[in-house]
Amino acid sequence: MGGTFDPIHYGHLVTAESAAEQFELSPVIFVPSGRPPHKREHLVTDPIERLRLTELATLSNPRFSTSSLEVERTGYSYAIDTVQWFHHHYGPTVDLYFITGADAIVEIMSWHKVERLIQYCQFIAVYRPGYAREQLHNTISQWSEEFSRRIHLIEVPALAISSTDIRNRLKKGRSIKYLVPEPVEHYIKEHLLYR
């Protein structure tokens, strides 16, 4: 499961757990992006801090683990490089799934070397109830058959939690309790992140 995780929250964790259950995945490896190329114009929290938050958030679930692969990589973090690394590390007999949000799937055709990326993994596109599912299906159906059959859509419980909202709450001095795991909340407060 890749993402900026700035910060990680319960929506990410519920998404990963739902995908793991439906597709019998183990482990689910959270990979915080180092330097996300799609956020060049945005201020992104230090990758080491986002990695620590992700480690704290996933610690209590034995099915979850965290990788520092993209944080340690120099330059921009591209999904193709990470997925190729996992493919070589685990071998060609292991099925790799890339868990991401439905919004990211809609933009996937603009990803770096996407034609190679689909050779290494399948995608689990997660959407919330109320999401424009038909529009998503229509977008995917316009792609090649090989590509569209490697995308699996799943719905997760309606959690209207976003990292952007959490950052805004913290800037305004508002509570983030029950939006993020308790260890994440304590780390953010202790290290004065997002102020």
Per DSSP, what are the bridge partners of residue 99?
124
The phi, psi pair for 3, rounded to 5°, reads: 170, 170
Q: Is there a domain that residue 188 lies in?
A: no
Taking only the tens place, the pLDDT of each residue in 58-76 is 999 999 999 999 999 998 8
Q: Is there a domain that residue 181 lies in?
A: no
pLDDT at 132: 74
The phi, psi pair for 120, rounded to 5°, reads: -100, -20
Q: Is there a domain that residue 187 lies in?
A: no
- Statement: residue 82 has pLDDT above 70: yes
Cα distances (angstroms) measured from residue 159 to each of 146, 168, 194: 32, 17, 22
Q: Is there a domain that residue 190 lies in?
A: no
DSSP letters of 95-153? PPEEEEEHHHHHTGGGSTTHHHHHHH-EEEEEE-TTS-HHHHHHHHHTS-HHHHTTEEE
Instruction: Return the top range by mean pLDDT from 63-77, 117-131, 152-166.
Output: 63-77
Q: Count up the domains in the chain and report the number.
A: 1
Q: In what order do the strands lie in the sheet with 28-32?
A: 2-3, 28-32, 64-66
Cα distances (angstroms) measured from residue 75 to each of 70, 167, 186: 9, 25, 30
pLDDT at 164: 92
- Residue 112: which domain range? 2-161
**pLDDT, mean of residues 97-125:** 90
Both structure tokens of 29: 């490896």
Q: How much is the pTM?
A: 0.90
- Statement: residue 55 has pLDDT above 80: yes
DSSP state of 78: -
Both structure tokens of 40: 């060049």
pLDDT at 158: 63
CATH code of 39's domain = 3.40.50.620
